[in-house]
Chains A and B, each alone.
Chain A
Amino acid sequence: MTPNSCLLARNLSFSFGENPAIHEISVEFTRGKITGIMGPNGSGKSTLLKCLSGIIEPHSGDVLAFGGLLSDFQDKISYIPQKEKIDWDFPITVKDLVRTSLYKSLKWYERFSAELIRLSDQAIQTMGLEGFENKQIGQLSGGQQQRAFLARALASNAEVFLLDEPFTGLDAKATEDLIRILKKIRDDGKSVIVVHHDFSNAALFLDEIILLKTTVLKFGSANEVINSPELRRAFGFPGMGQMH
């Protein structure tokens, strides 16, 4: 693992019953970059992201983080699930959502200290959600909902942000805003790994792309992957991928 990498996957494999979701995946993620995991439906993108986050244990292979075991750096890694996996009716406000990332700093009887409150308020402010702190999360727009979860990750002081299809359901303006925010996170020296579908805007913000179809078909800069013959092979036709 080079000193410049944040995560290293070594021969990762995971199966659902008999069907392998990912097979023998080895890839190194560079610090301070936005890396896209792209590929057709069912190619194992979300499974790879969950293995990288530590949510699921790979059936074989392992993940190293910052040169050590993933479990030792778990607090440096934040995972934001797909929109449809979240219960938007849950009675939780933006402020409370962001503060859930600070629970680990507290004993059960302790209240949030002024420093922790400052951290959470700062994260809300960075994500442009001032004025929405006391809104229930279901009342936010799609873009604000993604930003609320990013604020939670920011408050936890994460170094690696893993996002599973964050652009789903966002309109053009919200997509543009989210791209700007992801670039800002990258420019602050943090790493972003994002499962993404849309090749039409991939080159606008992704520094690197992993093209996945159970195994890694191609890993390189965004332009390199988008113009590669592997992309056409992955989607089974001689055009671009899934265009939006």
Chain B
Amino acid sequence: MIALYIITVGCLVAVNGAILGSVLLLRRMSMMCDAIVHAILPGLVVAYLITSSRGSFAMLFGAIGSGIIAATLVEFVHLKFRITREASIGLMFTTLFSIGIILLALFAGQVKLDQDCVLFGELAYVPLDLWITDEGLNLGPYPIWTLAFLTIGVVTYVSVGFRPLVLCAFDKEFARLQGIKVQRWHYSLMLMLSLAAVTSFQAVGAIMVMGFFILPPATAYLFISSVRSLILLSSSIGILCVVSGFYLAQYLNVSIAGCIITLNGFVFFSALASKLYLKLNLSPVRNT
């Protein structure tokens, strides 16, 4: 049962990461998840200081608030001061994350957040965080429920917004002429990203979340010719790496999230090598 809990949480994180990560990759802004994942720290601390509660809702609103502020500041600095988006992301996430670190240090006695846990997380602890009702009914780990709701939200969001999201990613100007509210879709994506980041990082940690968002879509991108196949293939790669990464971690007795992401990296470089091999030896065109 413990293995099932951990694998389920890992798979849910992988699917959310693959779907939103694919959209970010198409928009050439994968590192935005880096900014948001780091920027949610001050939001979490401030939410705790205001509400004195580690309840899910307070933390969620704190994280979403700082995620949206980070996304807005990145765009503002990028567009108004003509600084590249990458530089703007680097500027914002380091500044906001360091503010979070200072707040944690200043209010260390009051805020019960562990920096190592925020950064690295630990999938192995998932089975300990059980939801037991007043009647004593064991509903399984909390993260499974929060991630399941998140997955429903993410799948619904991308299904409803598939066409505008694709068009905004491909040709923003044409999308605007078609009457699509480009900015509205941008910030709704940032909102979903903040939600996904805060829900996922509790299970796998801030650093590993980025691996789930970036690596499977980057691998799938080498082989696809449509956005639908990008999302499907990256989700499959993510799930495959979670399952095999879990058993590899058990075998090697190492961090589960670390093993999953290492495996994702290995899959990416293997895919890249085989793609290059095919390109050099068989066909000059991309695989469709």
Contact = CB atoms under 8 A, between A and B. Distances in A.
Given A91-B224, A91-B226, A91-B229, A103 B177 contact: no
Interface residues of B, number: 29
Nearest to B227: A91
A87 B227 contact: no
Contacts of A87: 28, 170
Interface of A: 50, 53-55, 74, 77-79, 81, 86-87, 90-93, 96, 100-101, 103-104, 106, 108, 134-136, 138-139
A136 B174 contact: no
25 contacts: A55-B176, A55-B177, A74-B179, A78-B177, A81-B173, A81-B174, A87-B28, A90-B26, A91-B225, A91-B227, A91-B230, A92-B166, A92-B227, A100-B163, A100-B167, A100-B171, A103-B164, A103-B167, A104-B178, A106-B163, A135-B288, A136-B225, A138-B286, A139-B286, A139-B288
B177 A136 contact: no
A212 B164 CA distance: 35
B173 A90 contact: no
A81 B171 CA distance: 9
A90 B170 contact: yes
A96 B46 CA distance: 46
B177 A53 contact: yes
A79 B226 contact: no
Contacts of A55: 173, 176-177
A110 B127 CA distance: 41
B243 interface: no
A53 to B, nearest CB: 7
Given A74-B177, A136-B288, A92 B163 contact: no
A96 B167 CA distance: 11
Interface in B214-247: 221, 224-227, 229-230
Contacts of A106: 163
Interface of B: 26, 28, 159-164, 166-167, 169-171, 173-174, 176-179, 221, 224-227, 229-230, 285-286, 288
A42 B285 CA distance: 37
B82 to A, nearest CB: 10
Contacts of A96: 226
Residue among A53, A77, A106 facing the most chain B CB atoms (10 A cut-off): A53
Contact of B286 (A54, A104, A108, A136): A136
Interface-centre pick from A53, A74, A103 (highest chain B CB count, 10 A): A103
A108 B174 CA distance: 18
Contacts of A50: 173
